[in-house]
Structure 1
């Protein structure tokens, strides 16, 4: 019995050592940071699903107001959280080449070849190839389609609000963004059955799982083990969707120059030449397998519908809580639409100055992209400090922390669209507002996201007002199981016909 007890004691000691072996890393380097706990590092609350990871990072940001760089442990892996905006500008923009990668690679067959998670030459080539899809010229041609989707959405609201004006606004606007992405990007007209399938799929995509923490504990393990961040059912769905959509086109371009047309052009080439940093560098190529193609389908759908749906959820909530702001916005919508015969065009959106400010303030207070992550490609000394990050280590930027910091946005809890008046914006640090990140690896679809949201908002507010619901009075308790920060149980508003 004593031998068994001794063995258990030794094993417990070894395990404790193993799961704390790195925890003096930042202390040795005189870098301030929160005290880590065994196994979890500084992420205990998010790992145990008590708080979303984004809120854990915000708490760390708030805890060290006088530090430029905070040493943290993502599980047992030393990383840093940046607080200083000048350093963040160097990382995201000025010294981008040293931090071009996100460092979250996983199985190419498990959707890991998508443009968001891809790193290195693969990311560069995909970015260059798909950038033309999101130019203002291309998006202008999509506006009539967005408007048609918006009209159908209003009919949906008419039906549901007749019997129940109090609605979960996130669930409702998801129907618009899902339908709009399917129509504008993939050329699909969703029926009720397909919409229900996508709603069910949402749970598999946006429910957090432990693959992320596993990759933090053992960086690169998902790629080595051919694992994925997403369940097999998600991969299977998008593999089948890609196959079916391409078969529907039968290899013939639609002349819409949408994403499917671009994919068909790529498919004919069989491979995609990877970008070269130097002229004398050997040309490499990426084989355009069906898995690589379906990965792009997946990421444009996933990022395109949920970020906009969550942003509009918060926007409608804030309008319900601030009727004076809603009155001013409705007055602008009525005025602009009347001058454009009710048609939402590029010129029409350009005139919606107050709507743009309301949208920007929503993303200021509720940055749905949560946080920015980059990996160091070389050893790097942060400017103005003697702190070095080693090659392969991870950098975190807490967007939620920065954009709710009274140092940059006084009285941050107040919803104030006038923060984005040109006079107030011009003197603001370029990295004080990062809802779409910054630099060469910023969000490719940010213009699309803003336009589709503005179309939906204009359609809704031209017919309805939103009023507060007793179910959603705040302060919010965020759902720790949701990938993006959303209150547990959703957000409710009352939709009242004007």
Structure 2
């Protein structure tokens, strides 16, 4: 299977406008609520569904006003599949022969078929009607048509086919697989990162005040407009998201395979070549050897002037050639959600506590949501 080419990743800034538009829908929905109310910030996953549906699959979705839309129904069926996949991953690690036997059965995949139908319908409609949209589906189409994505942005957002008019550089199945990977990488993890950050800010009012002031001041300097560049100017926001990903890594473990025999230090135990290895990111990120006072939410541990951690141990998106390809997009979407909430709402803590997690979820998801109290701000940064 072809993988998503690295040269496409800088184009993320060009699809930022779509994500911002989706966040405006979330803000509008929240502002219609009462002045002062508790909220389960885990509902940010709804916003993630809308953003991913729009930026990747090219769909215009509003999960707040139309909760029964086709795409939302499809993706909300995934928690059951996620649990099954979690069990399958355990089989792959513990009893690989049984896992291979199950995979060889090629059981029907209704969700995969539905995803393929969405991609096929979207691409056919664009080809027939000459529709061009600045989203990842357009990049996939150019990759399929030409075998590469143009560095020249004026050519990237165009409708081009191969010389003989046939699309053959990348199959629909491969495109669907890539788009689905982006979905899995971004939906629940993006929403959870924003939710965990808002929850921790409510628990730590000194950080909340500093970040809200930064958001207000940065927006004031830019006429209240949020762009990709404006978002990157918010340095404390970046520190907060970085610390959230340290304390709550979206995917709490990594799967790797031993490439050569390795003897564990100070033991006689040898990990044989080819052995599947599970690495606990959650455990590493909560280890005081690498991160002093690991249970404390401290964004300043990542600041240059007060740096206090082992950078080798920080890998919320994995590391090496298999590092999460959607990490930039995920961080941007999480930041955008946080900024929109802080721009329009004050946040209050509902209870001082450590969060519990859903035991069956592979992504780290707060159990019963991460609840805070929101109050509409009377003065907004313009």
Q: Do the structures match in fold with TM over 0.5?
A: yes
Q: How many Å apart are 1:467 and its aligned residue?
A: 1.5
Q: What is the TM-score of this pair, normalised by structure 2?
A: 0.82
Q: Deviations over 1:311-339 (max 9, x none)?
A: 11111111111112111110000000000
Paired position in structure 2 for 1:188: 59
Match of 2:243 among 361, 366, 369: 361
- Provide the secondary structure at the position in 2 that maps to 1:166: strand
Paired position in structure 2 for 1:336: 218
Q: How many Å apart are 1:442 and its aligned residue?
A: 1.0
Answer yes or no: is 1:155 the counterpart of 2:155.
no
Q: Distance in 2 between matches of 1:414 and 1:249?
A: 50
Q: How many Å apart are 1:395 and its aligned residue?
A: 2.0
Segments of 4+ moved more than 6 angstroms? 228-231, 382-386
Q: Distance in 1 between matches of 2:134 and 2:81?
A: 28
Q: 1:429 to 1:319 in 2, by over 3 A?
A: closer
Paired position in structure 2 for 1:146: 19
- Provide the secondary structure at the position in 2 that maps to 1:462: helix
Answer yes or no: is 1:168 the counterpart of 2:40.
yes
Paired position in structure 2 for 1:50: none
Q: Distance in 2 between matches of 1:450 and 1:229?
A: 35
Q: Is the CA contact 1:133–1:257 (under 8 Å) kept in the aligned structure 2? A: no
- For structure 1, list consecutive stretches of 5 or more residues without a partner in the other structure: 1-121, 271-285
Q: Is the CA contact 1:367–1:400 (under 8 Å) kept in the aligned structure 2? A: yes
Q: 1:227 to 1:493 in 2, by over 3 A?
A: farther
Q: Distance in 2 between matches of 1:262 and 1:386?
A: 51
Q: Deviations over 1:429-480 (max 9, x none)?
A: 332211011222211111111111111111111100222235xx53333221
Match of 1:433 among 305, 310, 314: 314
Q: Distance in 1 between matches of 2:128 and 2:140?
A: 10
Answer yes or no: is 1:259 the counterpart of 2:136.
yes
- Provide the secondary structure at the position in 1 that maps to 2:223: coil
Match of 2:92 among 193, 215, 223: 215
Paired position in structure 2 for 1:201: 77
Paired position in structure 1 for 2:361: 482
Q: Distance in 2 between matches of 1:328 and 1:339?
A: 17
- Provide the secondary structure at the position in 2 that maps to 1:496: strand
Q: Is the CA contact 1:239–1:294 (under 8 Å) kept in the aligned structure 2? A: yes
Q: Deviations over 1:95-136 (max 9, x none)?
A: xxxxxxxxxxxxxxxxxxxxxxxxxxx4xx41xx4323322x
Q: What is the TM-score of this pair, normalised by structure 1?
A: 0.64
User: Looking at CA atoms only, which structure, 1 or 2, has the larger radius of gyration?
Assistant: 1
- Provide the secondary structure at the position in 2 that maps to 1:467: strand
Q: Distance in 2 between matches of 1:451 and 1:230?
A: 36
Q: How many Å apart are 1:266 and its aligned residue?
A: 4.5
- Provide the secondary structure at the position in 2 that maps to 1:444: coil
Q: C-alpha root-mean-square deviation of aligned residues, in Å?
A: 3.0
- For structure 2, list consecutive stretches of 5 or more residues without a partner in the other structure: 148-167, 378-382
Q: Is the CA contact 2:259–2:273 (under 8 Å) kept in the aligned structure 1? A: yes
- Provide the secondary structure at the position in 1 that maps to 2:256: strand
Count of residues in correspondence between the two structures: 352
